[in-house]
Each structure stands twice: as structure tokens, then as C-alpha cells.
Amino acid sequence: MALKKGQEFECEIESTAFKGKGIAKIDGLAVFIPGTAPGDRVKARVIKKKKKYREAKLLEVLEPSPHRIDPMCSHAKVCGGCTWQHIPYDKQLEYKEGHVRDHIERIAGLPPNIVKPIIGCDTPFYYRNKMEYSFGTKRWLTEEEINRDEFVDDTAFAAGLHAPGRYDKILNLNECHLQNPISYKILDYVRSYCKENSIPAFDTHNREGFMRHLMIRNSHYTSDLMVNLVTYKDDQKLMKTLSEHLLQAFPEITTIVNNVNDQPNPTAVGRYEHVLHGKGFIVDHIGGYTFKIHPNAFFQTNTAQAEKLYDTALKFANLQPGEKAFDLYCGVGTLTLYLCKAGSRVIGIELVDVAIENANINARENGIENVEFVKGDMKDTFNEQFLEQHGKPDCIITDPPRSGMHPDVVTRLAELKTDRLIYVSCNPSTQARDLKILKESYHIEAVQPVDMFPQTYHIEAVAKLVRKT
């Protein structure tokens, strides 16, 4: 049966794909269907026709899988924040570990048994220390509203998360179980306050309005709680009043910040900011080190799992006192400082100015002297001149973005043949792509998956590479 676009069909889900979609096979052709679980028998409709596969939309679960559960959140079926709430957590871990093994074998051409059992998260809900909500003038309609015969108005003051694939429509949240429950309670309060006081949401089409984003950050190891109100205009009188009401309703809040983003870009990073209450930052810890986290600074979203991830990298690196290590794509230096524990000298390289500034502050405030941070684009900075200046390292740790390392960096690492190379990745497919090249110069001894984001398909993996002799 050659499935055509728009065609409806029934099938059984056999497995899961990396992006959380279920996979069915129709006459040998792979069909990807979101919102399904292995063992489901479903009815679906083809929405994309490709030469080697099809993508389909789930219409109905005819016979649920024995591994399907009821999601905790009422928004789970339509929200892009959680793709796997309908799958038990032990099965999520099983599927994620399987994805890493599949990439290692299929893309990197390595034996799948080098992949170690996945390190799971002790708290599969309420684990995030940061949530970024958006405001908008159009809300995403429910399935029931979409199927009504009569017209349903979608214009409203909406606050929540963007509907999957839509920048202009907001899923109007009334619950969320990824961050501490106080997070969506604050969201609900701000939404109600704005509606009661006629404070408009920002309209992305007409570029008018006021409220753009609400970012909430909470500390894992301290009681700090930040509210960051991102607005299109600068109105300190209005913001001060809202701040006072928030503090009355939620005395747990330790700092309130107003970022003003009067530019067309959709980010929650303001062109400038005002501190309305408190110090303007929160404090948290990773591995005994203290970090000041400002509104727009990067910090690992799952603090407890970040420690497990870093422990794995530190163990694989096996750094000794007096040794030298490079930390590529070092960000604000959280992993870099962690690596200094062994008494070795660590040099971090990072492109972003503010990240380097934060990294130096973090090192100084933690009294770390055996560390140095260098600003530069990895493909241009990590060169012969850099090696002449700093010397050849005993170990290199690399933690690139989702797209993986630039081909020039991969080539340089292959040529350098440092004793030990530790590859931390948030995308096992691009990691496997790079390992396929690096395996010519290094033995890939182990790959350790670490689940940083329960209820989603995302998975981190740490690979240990040792120079071939």
C-alpha cells in the first residue's frame, strides 16, 4: 500500500524514533507518528510524504499499548514541552538508551555494547530550575473547539508556551509539572493581574502591546526564586506596582527583574533591565561550587542531573594533579570549574562575550586560580598558535551545541591525538557523526547516557576516547 498524503490508515506502533515519534512499518515503509507508544494500535492520517518515509498525525488510539499511561498534565497531548508523559518513566529510559545505542551502531559504526546503562533522574517531574513562558494575543484552540461547527474566537490574552510549530499562538497553560508548582501559580497570577488591569500582551504581527515573557528561575540548593518580567516598553511605575502585588501574593520570591526588549526579535533577553526587588540574581551550587545566576545567564536546567553528568565527565577524564586540560565550548565555566577539582590546570574556550565574563566571575568568586578562559570561535581559535601558546593538553573535554562540532574542530582533534578526549553531547546523532571520524585516531571506550530531561525525548551522552598507540 503506497500511502498518499491525506490518506487515513490503521497500524501498530513498533518502536520509537529519536525525536519521540512512534514508528510503524507499512509494507516496509517507516511511518512516524507523534503521541504514540510502542504497542499502540492507532488510526492516523498521512501529513507528509517523503521518498523513504511518511509522517502522520494521530487520529485515534484504537488499542492502547500496555506501556501507555494517562499523562499527569491536561496539556500533554498538545503542549510541546512534554512529548512522553504518556509513557512510564522506566520505559522512557529504556527507549532513550536504545536511541543512543542505535546512533552509535548505525551512524558511528561502533559496537553498541560500549553504551553503558543510562543514568536516570531521581525526580522525573518538577526538575527544571528555569521556565520561560510567553504572552500573546492569540490562544491555541483545544481539539474540542477546533471540531465545533460554530466559529470559535481565538483572540485572547494568553499566557503559557508556544503551540508546537507556531510562533504566533500560545497554549494557555493552567498547569505545568516541569518546574516547582509555584512556577505556574505565578504565571496564572500575572495573567489574571494583566487581564484585570487591562495590561495588553505583545502582538507579534502588529508589534504593539506590553507583556512579552515571564521567566521564572529557582535554585535547587538554596531558597532563591527569581521572577523576570520581559516587556516591550519601559514603564517602571506599572512594573513596580505589579512587583509589589507579586511579593504580597508570593513572599517566597527573592528577586524581581524587568527586562525591556523593544526590538523585533522574539527572545526573552532584554536590551536592558531594571532590578525591581532583591539582588537581581539567584545563587545555586554545583559540586560544591557557588554560582550567581543572572536573568539571562546560561545555567544547566536540571541542577541535580548536571552533577551526575559532570561526575561522569570528571571520571572519564581521570585528570591528575599537574596535568593540563582544555574545555571546548565551555559556556559560563560550570564544567570547567568542576574539572579543576583534580588539581589540574583547565583552559576554557567560548565564543560568547557574556559567557566568558560570567565564567571569570564564577572562577574568581569560588577562589579557583588554576583556570583560564579564552574568548573565540572554536574553529578559528583552537589552532596551532593556540597550542604553541598554551601547550599540548593531556586531556580535552568538548561540549558542543546540538549541531555538534565544526568539521575543522573534529579534524584538529583527530590530528592532535591527545591522550584522552571526553565528548559531552546533547544530541547523540551529531555525537555519533563526529565519533565516526574520531575513531580513526582514538579508541572509543565507553558512552554514558544521562537523562537530563524526563518526559521528553532529549538525552545527553558522555563519550570516553583514548588515543590509539
Q: What is the CATH number of the domain that holds 370?
A: 3.40.50.150
252: in domain: yes
- The per-residue pLDDT for 387 is 85
pLDDT at 153 over 80: no
- The per-residue pLDDT for 464 is 98
- The mean of the pLDDT values for the chain is 92
Find how far residue 394's CA is from the centre of its chain: 30
Q: Which helix (H) or strand (E) holds 245?
A: helix 236-249
85: in domain: no
Unique residue bearing C-alpha cell 553503558: 116
Asked which of 262, 288, 314 is the last residue of a domain, the reply is 288
Q: What single-letter DSSP state applies at residue 284?
A: E
pLDDT at 370 over 70: yes
- The per-residue pLDDT for 167 is 63
Residues 6+ apart with CB under 8 A from 168: 136, 138, 204, 205
Same structural domain, 337 and 449: yes
- Residue 420, classed as helix, strand or coil, is strand
Asked which of 253, 288, 323 is the last residue of a domain, the reply is 288
Same structural domain, 421 and 438: yes
Tell which wins on pLDDT, 246 or 207: 246
Beta strands at 282-286 and 272-277: parallel, antiparallel or unpaired:
unpaired
Total residue count of the chain as it appears in this document? 469
pLDDT at 308 over 80: yes
Bridge partners for 160 per DSSP: 134, 172
Q: What single-letter DSSP state applies at residue 19?
A: T
pLDDT at 386 over 90: no
Same structural domain, 135 and 117: no
Q: How confident is the model at residue 168 (pLDDT cuts 50, 70, 90)?
A: low
- The per-residue pLDDT for 469 is 84
Give how many domains the chain has, as a whole number. Answer: 3
Same structural domain, 149 and 258: yes
- The per-residue pLDDT for 117 is 98
Q: How confident is the model at residue 104 (pLDDT cuts 50, 70, 90)?
A: very high
CATH number at residue 28: 2.40.50.140
**268 and 212 in contact (C-beta within 8 Å)?**
yes
3: in domain: no
Same structural domain, 284 and 329: no
Query: What is the mean predicted confidence (pLDDT) over 431-436?
Result: 97
pLDDT at 371 over 80: yes
Same structural domain, 176 and 282: yes
Same structural domain, 278 and 420: no
87: in domain: no
User: Percent of the chain at pLDDT above 70?
Assistant: 96
Query: What is the mean predicted confidence (pLDDT) over 71-99?
Result: 92
Structural domain for 171, as ranges: 130-288
- The per-residue pLDDT for 385 is 86
pLDDT at 191 over 90: yes
Tell which wins on pLDDT, 467 or 169: 467
Same structural domain, 325 and 222: no
pLDDT at 147 over 60: no
State the Cα–Cα distance between residues 38 and 67, nearest whole angstrom: 7
- The per-residue pLDDT for 162 is 79
User: Percent of the chain at pLDDT above 90?
Assistant: 74
Tell which wins on pLDDT, 203 or 41: 41
pLDDT at 146 over 70: no
- Residue 356, classed as helix, strand or coil, is helix
Same structural domain, 161 and 241: yes
Query: What is the mean predicted confidence (pLDDT) over 21-43?
Result: 94
pLDDT at 16 over 60: yes
Annotated active-site residue in 79, 82, 176, 426: 426
Q: What is the pLDDT of residues 352-365, one digit of tens each?
A: 888 898 899 999 99
Burial 22-54 (b: 16+ CB within 10 A, else e): bbbebeeebbbbbbbbbbbbbebebeeeeeeeb
* Dihedral sign from CA coordinates of 301, 305, 311, 312: negative
Can 330 be counted among the known catalytic residues? Answer: no
pLDDT at 144 over 70: no
Choose the most confident range, by mean pLDDT, from 338-342, 376-380, 412-416, 420-424: 420-424
- The per-residue pLDDT for 1 is 59
Q: What is the pLDDT of residues 416-427, one digit of tens each?
A: 889 999 999 999
* Dihedral sign from CA coordinates of 326, 329, 331, 334: negative
**53 and 17 in contact (C-beta within 8 Å)?**
no
Same structural domain, 364 and 442: yes
State the Cα–Cα distance between residues 31 and 259, nearest whole angstrom: 44
State the Cα–Cα distance between residues 187 and 183, nearest whole angstrom: 6
pLDDT at 66 over 70: yes
Query: What is the mean predicted confidence (pLDDT) over 115-124?
Result: 97
**384 and 413 in contact (C-beta within 8 Å)?**
no
Same structural domain, 40 and 115: no
How many C-beta atoms surround the C-beta of residue 440 within 10 A?
A: 8
Same structural domain, 269 and 201: yes
Burial 121-149 (b: 16+ CB within 10 A, else e): beebbebbbbbebbbbbbbbbbeeeeeee
- The per-residue pLDDT for 267 is 86
297: in domain: no
77: in domain: no
233: in domain: yes
Q: How confident is the model at residue 228 (pLDDT cuts 50, 70, 90)?
A: very high
**373 and 333 in contact (C-beta within 8 Å)?**
yes
Bridge partners for 15 per DSSP: 23
Query: What is the mean predicted confidence (pLDDT) over 329-348?
Result: 90
DSSP string, 29-75: EEEEETT--TT-EEEEEEEEE-SSEEEEEEEEEEE--TT----SSTT
Q: How confident is the model at residue 400 (pLDDT cuts 50, 70, 90)?
A: very high
- The per-residue pLDDT for 433 is 96
Residues 6+ apart with CB under 8 A from 288: none
- The per-residue pLDDT for 44 is 96
Unique residue bearing C-alpha cell 550567581: 292
CATH number at residue 267: 2.40.50.1070
Q: Name which of 383, 385, 462 is nearest 104 in CA terms.
A: 462
State the Cα–Cα distance between residues 45 and 61, nearest whole angstrom: 12
Q: What is the pLDDT of residues 194-227, one digit of tens each?
A: 999 999 999 888 889 999 999 999 999 999 999 9
25: in domain: yes
